[in-house]
Each structure stands twice: as C-alpha cells, then as structure tokens.
Structure 1
Amino acid sequence: MAREAIGCEAMRTGLARSRREFLRAGGLGLLGLNLPTLLDARARTRASALPVGPESFGKAKAVILLFMWGGPAQQETWDLKPEAPEQVRGEFRPIETNVPGLMISEHFPNLAKRADKLAVIRSVHHKDVNHTTATHELLTGHPIPRAGGGLFSEDWPHYGAVLEQIDHFGRRSPLPPYVQFMPVSTDGAPRFVEQSHGQGAGWLGPALNPFSIDHDPSLPTYDVGDFRLPAEVGPTRRDVREGLLQVVERQARHLEQSPQVDAMASHYERAHALLTDPKAMKAFDLSGEDPRLRERYGMHAHGQAVLQARRLVEAGVPLTTVFWQNDGITNVSVYWDTHNRNFIDLKDRLMPPADQAFSALLDDLEARGLLDETLVVWTGEFGRTPKVGQSVVGGAGAGRDGRDHWAHCFSTVLAGAGIRGGTVYGASDRWAAYPARDPVTPADIAATIYHCLGVDPDLELVDTLGRPLRLCNGTPIGGVLG
C-alpha cells in the first residue's frame, strides 16, 4: 500500500491521541503509568469451573505480545498451500519442522527447529479490514465499539490496562505495569501504528495507558530518556519541585475534577519512584547484556525490542507489547502491509528478523526458566487475500505481486505458559481463505490469554456509565492448552 493510501486511512480514525499521556513540570518526566484501582474486583480463580485446561489456569506470570502490524500473509508464514494454484500458493514453499506433520514457511528456518514449543492457530477470523481498527480486536478481544474508530477514550481496554485495573498481580513496583515498543525509524518513515485502536486503556481512563518507548533499542544511543532526571537536577531541587507540584495538584483538583487531573498525582508518584530506583532503571539498560546474546536476537529494532521485553519480564513487568516498526526501506510496502513486493519484502525484510527474534526469545526464556510462566503471542491484525493481485472491498488494493487485506482467515501463534507446544489448531480451506475447521475469534484468543493469566473471563468491569461489562465474550481454546 502506498504511504498516501495508509495516511488517508489513518486520518479517518478521528482525533489523534497522545499515546503516553506525559506531563512535564520543571524538566521531570511524568509517566502515564498507574492509578489506584478504581474497582474492588479481582480476578477470580475458578479453575475447577473452567471447561478446559484447569491445569493451565494461571500459569502465566507475564505476557509478551509480538504484534506484526500490517497483516502478515498466512500463506507465506504459517499456513502454506503447496497444492493450490500458483496464484494462491505464491512463491514460498513449506519446510519440515521438529514436529512431524507440522510444516511452516521456508523463511522461518529457526522457528521450524522450535515448533515443539509453538501452538499454531490457523483459523482466526473477524470482519474488520481496516488496520487501525482491526488492531482493537486482537489487543482487547472486542470489536471496535464505534464503526470507523471514534475516540481512543471509547475503546475497550488493552489486556495490560485490565490487569492493572483489577490489580491482578498485586504489584507495588516503580516499573510500569505494561510497556509498548514503537521504535521510530531513523529516516522519518511514518508510524501509522500510532493511530491503532486498542493499544491504550480506553474507557478505563488515561492513567492506565501504557508507557510507550519510541527509541530504537538497536542504536548505540538507545536510552529511555523519559526515565532520566536532567543532569542539573539534584535530589534537593527534585524534592522542592515535588513539593511545589503537590500544591499545584491540589489546586488543580479543586478547580477541575477530570480523569486527566486525577491521573496527574499518580503519574508523578510512579515517575518519582522509578527515577530514584536503580534496580528498576537497570531493566532498561541493554549494555549489560552479553553481546553474543544481543546478536542472537538481531541487532535491529525488532530484535532488540524483543530482548528488552525479556528483560522487563525478568524485572517483573506483567505485559509488554512489541509492535513491528516501519523501517522505511520501501514506500510501496510498509510494516507487514504487503500490497506490493509481497514476496521480496517477506523474504528479505520481514520474515528473517521476525524468525530470528522470536526463536531467540523462546531459547532465552527457556534457558532462564521463564518460558513456563511467560505467555508469548505472535500475531497481526489480519491476513492477506487468497490470491496474489486480488483486491477486496474495504482494502487498499493489491499490485500484481502483492496481497490485499483479508480478515476472514489468518494465523496466530502462542507459546509458553499453559500452552501445548507442537500443536496445530484449526484449519483453513484449500486457499487459506476461510476456516474449514474449529474457527477461532479474537475473543477466543483473549479468553485464552486471560485463562493462562488466571483471570476469569466472566469477570465484570464497570464502564464510565456504571454499566457492568463482561471482560471477555470468548472461550479459552482447549486444543492449545496444556
């Protein structure tokens, strides 16, 4: 898709939003990280009442969500169709994995050697072919509340916001409760991912929005600057400023009772605790990692962001989302949105770093004894059209060497805590166009994530109108649960 086409699509999503809800006072960064729990509800452990996998209930202590923004082609990654006509099967061929009968793309050679750790779901489907609204389904388990997008404050809350809202982990750490990576391209390539719905706290309020990291972790200059005190600000000046800010906060609350004002004190409190905690700050210092391990993840933005996610798991951050970055190499195929150059970009630009980082993460988590308690999710917001060069209503068209948007069937992969590795669940038809067996919705994936975390999908959250809303309308996918 041309940048202009995606730009028009992004503009239709309505008002742009400040993703981090950062406030500034005297040079100190105030992080939009946390709010004292608004509800008294907690996740209810009802493993015995769940229909599937009670032994997997609550095994996950953390989640790493690897989001391949743009829509990876299922036919070129996890669900190849070598017997289909050439216009359907494309150029890539399947290869054997270390699980008999499980075949994946030839351009995922490292993951093929680790397929025994993966559950490949080949029958995910929904109806939204718009990038910035389809993300909402995969990040929350719910369709976008308002057709076309609406305001971000109307969104359903992201998994991370829900976990923080119900205080599921009982955390009292200065580290953010959930973090997302959106590395900026050095050549200024547009970041349409910023316009994606579902990445924030939605109607739970801005204080529960994620901490977003824009820096490219692969660069020598990588530094999460918003965590740093200015060099000229010593403890005494910081304490003075903290006292002054408290006065301002009290006056602001008196003048205006709003979610943004209510969030301010909490933002500052978390920022102050984080900035003064060396152990918390160390989690963001990649320089201490073995250079050989960094090379295994890949010295590119995605690989180093995935490595950073592993460090955050070790440090106790419950949920980290790593969005694929727009590397800006081509202006006809950005992110995984391969309307043109589908096979060239998948083979040369997209699949090798994704294969490298995901496989390194699995090895690293296992070596550290963390894989059994860390759920890893690899997904995009949808897939690609069954035929090369096929354009669909609502998509942005496809060149003769590309595939358009397709939400009727695509693949999502799970690994780690509570997941049965070496599994294929569901099946697509002969063209990878529609589910042929065991269809799965994003709500089912959400229910599976919550199940692995030990959160009852029947839990109710209260929205801004005081209405109790069920956390998830899906069902945990028993076939992928250990």
Structure 2
Amino acid sequence: MVGNSGCGSFRSSLSRSRREFLRAGGLGLLGLNLPTLLDARARSAPFVPPSSSFGRAKACILLFMWGGPAQQETWDLKPEAPEQVRGEFRPIETNVPGLMISEHFPRLATRADKLAVIRSVHHRDVNHTTATHELLTGRPIPRPGGGPFHEDWPHYGAVLEHLDHFQRRSPLPPYVQFMPVSTDGAPRFVEQSHGQGAGWLGPALNPFSIDHDPSRPDYDVGDFRLPADVGPTRRDAREGLLQLVERQARHLERTPQVDAMAAHYERAHALLTDRRALEAFDLSKEDPRLRDRYGMHAHGQAVLQARRLVEAGVPLVTVFWQNDGITNVSVYWDTHNRNFIDLKDRLMPPADQAFSALLDDLEARGLLDETLVVWTGEFGRTPKVGQSVVGGAGAGRDGRDHWAHCFSTVLAGAGIRGGTVHGASDRWAAYPSRDPVSPADIAATIYHCLGVDPETELVDALGRPVRLCLGSPIGGVLA
C-alpha cells in the first residue's frame, strides 16, 4: 500500500485538535493514508455551466481492472478473425445499434447508451506495476523499470488536491483508493503499482487507502472509531506525555514525512469527530437490496462504497480490482492461463454487475450527470491465444500474454457522450487502425471533464514549471 513513511518525530507546532487525536491513541489508523488540504493556489479554469463538457464532472470514480483485461473478450471482439485470435466468446447486441460487446457483459449491453467505448488505447509498457503509472497519471513511468514512488508523476487525485480545485473544507479525504485484501493471503501485486500516490507532490497528498474487504460483515475501514475505553478522562491523563513528545519534536528536523504524518493525524481526528463523515463509510446504511444489486463481493461493495463517498463529497475514488485468491494460476485480470474460464466465471460477471449497478444508482440519485466514471486496465492481452511476447510473463495454451499496443477503456457519466465508439483496432485487435488514443489523451479528457485545463502548469520537485498533461481531450467522446 502506498503510505506515508514512518518517522520518529512530530512537528513541534501541533494544533490542539492534533494533540487530542494523539491522546486518543491506538486507533488503528497507521495503515491508512489520509492526505490533507494544503495551501495550494487554484490554477485551473473555473467550472462552466453543464451545457459544456468542460467542468461538468464534480467527481470521478475510476474502476481499475488491475492485471490487463483482454480486449478481445470484453469490448472489442473479433468474430471474423481466425479461431486462435477470436477466442471462445461471442459478441452480443447492445441497446445502441451497431455497438457489440461481449456476451459476458449482458447487463452493460443494456446500458451501452451511457458508455463511450474507446478501442484504440495504446502505449509501450508491458510491466504491470509500471504500466499502471500510464493510466493513473497520463504519463510514462519517469524511470524505466520503476524507481522510488516519490519520483512518480502524481495521481489525478493528488493533482486536484494540490490545486485545491474543488476548494473543499470537509473532514472527508480528498481522494480514496480501495485495495481489498484477500482473506486467504493471496498475493497483492497491486500495492506495488506506480502512479497511485502523490509522487513528487509529497507524501501529505498520498491517498486514503482502504485495505478492508467491504463485503465482509466486520468491514470497518481500519477501525478508525474511538475505542470504548478511550474517554475524555483517559485522554486528559496523557497530556503530560504529549507535552514531552512535543518538546522532543522541537529538536528534530522537520521533513516532508513528518509533515505528512502530522497531516495524517489532523485529518484522522477530524474524521473521528464528524458523524456525517463517519456515516459515509457505513455500508449498513444502504438498503440490502441495493447492496445485492452491486454484488455481495469485494468489488461490488467497494464500488458501492465509492458511490457513497462521491455522494458525500469526495471528489475522486479509485477502486482497484482485488486478488480474490480463488486460483493461483491467473490472478486479478492477468489471464496468462485459464483466460476463458476465469473471464467467464470469475472476472466478467462481478465487473458487469457492479459497473451496471453503479450507472443505475448514480442516475437514480441524479449524480450521473455530474460524476465521471472510468473503466480501464493498465493494458490488454496478446492478439493470439498462447502467444508470448518480449517483456511479458508468457502465456499458456489457454491464456494471453501482456499487450500494450492496443486495448480498450470505457468512459461514462458527466461530460461524456454515451452510446459511442471511438477509435478502432485492426482485424486482430492488435494495433489501432483509426483514431489512436494515448493514456495522455485519456488523462486530458479526465481533467477536461473535471474542469482542469490540461495545459495547467505545475512546479516539480526541482522547482521547474511542467505542463500537467501532454495529451488532448478526446473530442469524439465528449458531450
């Protein structure tokens, strides 16, 4: 999990609210990452009326299918291709004439009028943990092969918070990410992924990360409520110890990690004392029938939680697909083996269910016109079943290897023209044949819909002005 680095000191200028939080002690928050509002200058263009796509979105939900969904089995089927290319799945009609998607997305097929399917996304990185950087930031990884997280280009949420774009003054985190942990200890490669944090903007802007599985009865977002045995008397008894800690802190060097930890405590204390903020994380408030529509599995309930947070005022939520631990052959959407079995039985049904329920739920609440939804992975899969590529991890006879030269991303909601297909792949879904789209273009489209000029300049860690985004908004999908 991306987190604020541990440190042995606290800022000397701790506020009283922060002191109260420290006195509470033992609140189980050290595993969570709470960014804080900084005194950033708003450099983005103001919102314009919703008749335009620019600035129409007040929030964004990013559904990240970590592992690389096969474009040929999801959004870009090739029924006329040779068997080794087209695979086992067949396309079905949608409620948009001429738009066909996979037979294993039946719910989404009836909601295609809300979707913009981009079939020509491409880049060059076939490594999971660095390719994520492309889709979460719009930029290639700064250092080939990885490097430290603090060198990453900042995630969309960190940029929005740095610019104070939404001018928020809420105790809720400015952006949240879900990375549910499998109960059986399945590997969590997703937490090693680049681009999910604030990068060179500094650790104080790292996301609030939730590891708990929201489908479990004991889901409690890290137990960040006050323990029953920590009352005012006990907190007051710790005043002397706190003063000692503060005196020690005055002699220690102030670092970004210390500032980030202090901000972490400040945000946590604000959450602990705000009933409405706590309720945003309480899925028990939802109608059980609605929870069932999302699916009583980790992904479905994380997507429902994302809707609750957006409705409560959180501007950006990322939901990473979890490793459910059902099979040790193909994990996440990384189907080197069992491609058709796992897509049909384990991956596509819950994705179809949760995405469809989210669209319906947002629309019913009047939120779809002001919420941008993005469905993507970090890349796609090889054109041929059983084909291995240089830099990939190989493919079994029933699997597909990594492929970044062409894959699909789907947009919906605020600022997006539904019922559209942008770009096209060649006859093997191997390379774009029309209107190629880069991750930078997707980033520019996201920023555009959220009301941020992609040409906005940031100041990097070396004090140099850098353009926020090198791509252009995708006009073909904009309302």
Instruction: Tell me the TM-score range normalised by the shorter chain.
Output: over 0.9
Give distance in 2, aligned partners of 1:477 and 1:275: 41
What residue identity is the alignment partner of 1:113? Answer: T
| 2:54 aligned with 1:57 | yes
Aligned partner of 1:335 in structure 2 is: 332
Give distance in 2, aligned partners of 1:246 and 1:213: 32
TM-score by length of 2: 0.93
Which region of structure 1 is more displaced relative to structure 2, 353-362 or 210-219? 210-219
Give distance in 1, aligned partners of 2:369 and 2:73: 29
What residue identity is the alignment partner of 1:350? Answer: L
What residue identity is the alignment partner of 1:468? Answer: P
What residue identity is the alignment partner of 2:3? Answer: R
Aligned partner of 1:289 in structure 2 is: 286
Q: Which secondary structure does the structure 2 equivalent of 1:413 belong to?
A: strand
Which region of structure 1 is more displaced relative to structure 2, 463-472 or 115-124? 463-472
| 2:28 aligned with 1:37 | no
Query: Gapped runs of 5+ residues in structure 1?
Result: 1-16
TM-score by length of 1: 0.92
Q: Which secondary structure does the structure 2 equivalent of 1:436 belong to?
A: strand
| 2:80 aligned with 1:74 | no
> What is the Cα deviation at residue 43 of structure 1?
1.2
Give distance in 2, aligned partners of 1:227 and 1:387: 48
What residue identity is the alignment partner of 2:145? Answer: G
What residue identity is the alignment partner of 2:86? Answer: R
Give distance in 1, aligned partners of 2:461 and 2:250: 19
What residue identity is the alignment partner of 2:72? Answer: Q
- Cα deviation 1:273-316 (Å, max 9, x = unaligned): 10011110001111111111000000000000000000001110
Q: 1:452 to 1:85 in 2, by over 3 A?
A: same
User: 1:49-448 to 2 correspondence within 5 Å?
Assistant: 55-238=52-235, 245=242, 248-249=245-246, 251-252=248-249, 254-448=251-445
- Report % sequence identity: 86
Q: Which secondary structure does the structure 2 equivalent of 1:79 belong to?
A: coil
> What is the Cα deviation at residue 464 of structure 1?
1.5
Query: Gapped runs of 5+ residues in structure 2?
Result: 8-20
> What is the Cα deviation at residue 238 of structure 1?
3.9
Give distance in 1, aligned partners of 2:337 and 2:73: 14
Aligned partner of 1:3 in structure 2 is: none
How many residues are treated as equivalent by the alignment?
Answer: 462
Give distance in 2, aligned partners of 1:357 and 1:242: 47
Q: 1:464 to 1:303 in 2, by over 3 A?
A: same
Give distance in 1, aligned partners of 2:239 and 2:362: 39
Q: 1:283 to 1:241 in 2, by over 3 A?
A: farther
Asked whether the 8 Å contact 1:71–1:405 carries over to 2, the reply is yes
> What is the Cα deviation at residue 262 of structure 1?
1.6
What residue identity is the alignment partner of 1:77? Answer: T
Q: Which secondary structure does the structure 1 equivalent of 2:190 belong to?
A: helix
- Cα deviation 1:198-248 (Å, max 9, x = unaligned): 000011111111111111111111111342222211134446658965763
Give distance in 2, aligned partners of 1:423 and 1:283: 33
Give distance in 2, aligned partners of 1:457 and 1:247: 47
What residue identity is the alignment partner of 1:362? Answer: L
Q: Which secondary structure does the structure 1 equivalent of 2:229 belong to?
A: coil
Aligned partner of 2:3 in structure 1 is: 19
> What is the Cα deviation at residue 40 of structure 1?
2.3
What residue identity is the alignment partner of 2:34? Answer: L
Give distance in 2, aligned partners of 1:466 and 1:440: 30
- Cα deviation 1:23-69 (Å, max 9, x = unaligned): 89531336532344354242124979xxxx98110010110000000
Asked whether the 8 Å contact 1:58–1:455 carries over to 2, the reply is yes
Q: 1:200 to 1:405 in 2, by over 3 A?
A: same
Asked whether the 8 Å contact 1:32–1:206 carries over to 2, the reply is no
Asked whether the 8 Å contact 2:389–2:402 carries over to 1, the reply is yes
What residue identity is the alignment partner of 2:463? Answer: G
